[in-house]
Every structure is written in C-alpha cells, then in structure tokens.
Amino acid sequence: MRRLIFFSLILFSNFIYSQNLLFAEPRNPIRAKNGMVVSANELASKVGIQILKRGGNAIDAAVAVGFALAVTYPVAGNIGGGGFMIIHTKDGKSIAIDFREVAPAAATRNMFLDSDGNFLPDLSQVGIKSAGVPGSVSGLLYALKKYGTMKIEDVIQPAINMAEIGFPLPYSTANSIKYTLDDFSQFPSSMKIFSKNGEAYQEGEIFKQPDLAFVLNEIKNFGVDGFYKGKVAELIVDQQNKMGGLITLDDLANYKTIEREVVRGSYNNFEIISMPPSSSGGVALIQLLNILENFSFKENEWGSSNYIHTLVEAMKYVYADRAVHLGDSDFYNVPIDWLTSKAYAKKIADKIKNSATPSDSIFAGSPDSFEGENTTHYSVYDKDGNAVSVTTTINSGYGSKLVVEGAGFLLNNEMDDFSSKPNTPNQFGLIGSEANSIEPGKRMLSSMTPTIVLHNEKPFLILGSPGGSTIITVVLQVILNIIEFNMDIEQAVYSPRIHHQWKPDKLYFEKFGLSKDVIENLKSMGHIIGNERVLGIVEAIMIDQKNKIIFGVTDKRGAGKVEGY
C-alpha cells in the first residue's frame, strides 16, 4: 500500500524547465511556519518535507533528499560522488562534514600527462581513471548517525521506491539524458541505464533503475559496509580491473568522512558559516566579503559600473589566491586564518582603484609578507531551528559518463579537479599549483560553497549553488543582494549575476545582467567582456526569526521545487 501511495504521488511530478523563465517576474517567496526543503528536484523536495512532517529533523531530511536525488536527478545527484554539508544545530553548534572524493592509492602526480608532459584532459574527465573514491554514501550516513534521529531504513526507503517503481521523467531530465547519449554510447553499462536499447527516453516516460535499487537496498541493510564492502564494492572493483581503473577494495574500505571546523567570517553584523578545505568555497567567500566590507554601496548602485567593477577586482585577487594557497588541508598547510583575515582583505581593498587591473599583473599574496558544473545544492530547515546546507557533485554533468555495471550508478570524474599540471586550466578554466597536486588519498580542491548566514546567532540564510568555479561568486552575490540591497530572497536569487575568476581575464555575465552603457563604461575602465552564460542554480531559505516565517526559493535557472509546511 505504501508503494502504491508513493507511486500515485510521483505521477503528479511532471514539470517543465525553460530558460524563458530565467528572469520571470517574482511571485513572492514560498512561505512556511514549521519546516522547509529546497532542492533541484520536485520529488526529492517532497521526500524531504515528508521526513520533517513525520518528526525527523533537518539532518534526517537532508539525508533522505540526498539519496532521493541520486535516483531522480542523475545529472548531479549521486551515490558515486561526494560533497560537503554544513549544519547549524538548534543549540548553536556549527559543523562541517567533508565527504569529498579522494584519489586512489595507486594515483600518481603525473597520471594525466603524456610522455612529453602534455595534459590529457580526456583521461581526467571521462571514463574509468577520472573517478575518485566516492564519499557520498559515507557522508550521508555519518551525518545521519551522529546528528539525525531516524533509522536508515526510514530515510532511504523513498529513494528505493522511486528506483524500483520508477517515476515520470520531467522535460529537463529527459532532455539532458538525450543530450548526453553520445557520451554514454562509449560505455555499454551506461547505455543500459540511460537509453532504451539505444533510443532516447522521452518526457513523461517511466524511468526505472533496478540496479540502483539493489545498491540502495544493500545500503539500507548493511549501512556503510553495504557500499564500501561486500557485493557493491566488488562490482565497482571488478569494473575497475576490467577497464584499467585504479580504485581497489582497500580504497573503498578505507574511505572516511571527516568532520571539520567550519570557517567563520562576518559581514555587516551577519556571521558567515561555510565550508573549509578541501573546499575553497568558504575561504574564498569570506575573503571576498571581507574585501567588499571596505566599500559602501547605495541601493541604487546595484548593477552599476562602479559596483560591477569593484566586485570583479575583488574576485581577481581572491581567485589568484585560490590558485596558489588552496588544497586539501590534510596534505598542504593552507593559511586559512591569514586568507580570511580583515587585515589582509584591507590590503587588497586598498589596491582596487578606478581602473581594471590586468589579471597577468595580479599574483597571489604571501602569508609571510602580509570544481563539474553539474553539482547540486539543497537547503533544509526544521521547526526546532536546525539548518542544513548541502552541496554534492559528480563534477561534470553525469560525471565520468560511466555507470558501474550491475550497480546502476555513475562514477564521478573528480580527478579533473586536481591540478594535473601547474598553471594548466581544468575543464572550468581553473588554474592550480602544488597545493592541489595529485597525491594518493588526497581530496581534490572544490569550489562548493554550502553556507549558512547567522543573524543574532540564529539562522538567517541557508544557501548554495552548483556551477563549478562560479559557485563562490554566485553565493556571494545572493548574500550581497539581501544584506546590501535589501532584496527579498526571491529577488536576490532571480537577479542577474556576473563572474570573474582571475584567469581567463574575462568578465562573464547573464542575459540582462549588464546594460549597454555599463558594458561601455567597464570597457573604458579596462575590463575585458566575456560571453553571456547562465551562472549557478541557487536553492535558498531565509528565516524571519522575529515573525517565525520561513521563506524559500528555487532558482528559475533550474527546475527545482520548494516544499514547506
């Protein structure tokens, strides 16, 4: 009976994604009193809100959403990837959970270089060697065991049901699978899952994943060992051995989730709680806010050439520092305190003048002298005041494009997030150095920025985004839109955004993001204007603690869903 009810629910899940809605007129944020879930997929959000209604806390709901996204949002939701979780509990504790993928023990520094030292991106971005050891299952179950209240069978069963029974494919998912069929065609195991004997799935067709249901059942029955040991681990390693991969049974058995200290910052009486390395997101976000705190902007300056110029110049310096100083802090001494200090930010702010500084003349600072864009984010808040911000990824859309034979899930291609060759950009144009070089057991640097903003020590904003190297600047601009320009949460998320990442020295912007005269002013200041592009898909929650109202918004750039009660 439970499955029949669930199946009837998902029959109503057909929704349409269209970029024509990108800058639609705001409809006012969704409001709730008791709890809220915002994710990139309607079914996953419904799973999360049902957990909250049944008495689970925000961590229980976040874990349930994570497993549900692995079924319903295969472009980025996953059990074959990794990610980061920020938690702020009802009693005021802030926690960072790092379940980023790691390099296999057999990985080598130059594994993606040819005999002449040339970088081979096809090896690092597609297929068996592009995958790091997955962390998602470990991370979700770690959070559930330590901070949740429900049993694993309670939070994973909805995902199992959807994998076994299937669900109607929404337009966005059907279209993205169709678009990726040529990539999937390299691997019979992938075509088995993502095509009907080689033909594309159509919108509304029921998409069943029995192999994935088997894996989820193994996790339900055996916990972490159901993935990292036993039958599932053997399937992963059998495929690795057949295709020349590096991941071994020991790599899987030895994977560990790490609980870290959050990175903290402040901006105009708001406290920022975000992710430390192996993500660069929290450090870079706080560094940017520290720099911008030295400037004042009037409400009517939003979108002006002066405002854009100041943002871009700050971004250049921060991404230069990211390239040199950020990496896995278990392998490299990342100078977090210095990078996030107000004093260092002031020195950078003093360098920002009325003309653009060419990127080639900006170098990373020295503490001695003074990620695929198809990631996904979800935010959860419960009636007791627990807040959870989760960003998870398999890197590129559909990761390595390789499904584990017999297990039905995609492997990530996160090895591309390492700096395979110094000063050579990865697929997102990001440049790295020794701090992010390949080493066995090391976590590759990420730009994921799951963030919680506190006001008067209570959760005020919960947000994050996919978008590879653009994640940091996307999250930054939503925060600024609210704190500096008094936008409501929907206006803040819908508004056009810009991006600069030091190199290449180009200012990217969204449609309607820069007016003609602003572009001309920026050019006259020395800025190089890049292409129009969509920047991020923010899933955000804002809490009015005084009136006890929870506001939620899913970005019109995606096809997500807000669920509250």
Amino acid making up residue 163: A
Q: Give the whole-angstrom CA distance, residue 17 versus residue 14.
A: 10
Helix (H) or strand (E) holding 258: strand 258-260
Helix (H) or strand (E) holding 552: strand 549-554
The pair phi, psi for residue 391, each rounded to 5°, is -125, 130
Q: Give the whole-angstrom CA distance, residue 232 versus residue 217.
A: 11
Q: Give the whole-angstrom CA distance, residue 355 versus residue 352.
A: 8
| HSE value, Cβ hemisphere, 13 Å, CA-based, for 145 | 11
Q: Give the whole-angstrom CA distance, residue 326 versus residue 228.
A: 29
Q: Give the whole-angstrom CA distance, residue 195 versus residue 177.
A: 8
Q: Are strands 94-99 and 82-88 parallel, antiparallel or unpaired?
A: antiparallel
Instruction: State the Cα angle at 349 between 448 and 465, rounded to 5°.
Output: 15
**Which residues have a Cβ under 8 Å from the Cβ of 491 and sit 6 or more positions away?**
26, 481
**Which residues have a Cβ under 8 Å from the Cβ of 457 and sit 6 or more positions away?**
92, 271
Amino acid making up residue 125: Q
Q: What crossing angle do the helices spanning 152-165 and 136-147 adopt, rounded to 10°? A: 140
Q: So which residues are the catalytic ones?
A: 375
- Helix (H/G/I), strand (E/B), else coil: 405: coil
Q: What share of the chain is helix, strand, coil (3-state, %, to 5)?
A: 40, 15, 45
C-alpha 421 chain-centroid distance: 24
Q: Give the whole-angstrom CA distance, residue 250 versus residue 258.
A: 18
| Residue 138, beta-bridge partner list | none
Give whole-number Cα distances, 191 to 108, 177, 182, 201, 402, in Å. 30, 10, 10, 11, 9
Q: Give the whole-angstrom CA distance, residue 311 versus residue 309.
A: 5
Radius of gyration of the chain from Cα atoms? 22
Neighbours of 342 (CB within 10 A): 14
DSSP state of 16: -
Q: Give the whole-angstrom CA distance, residue 139 versus residue 216.
A: 15
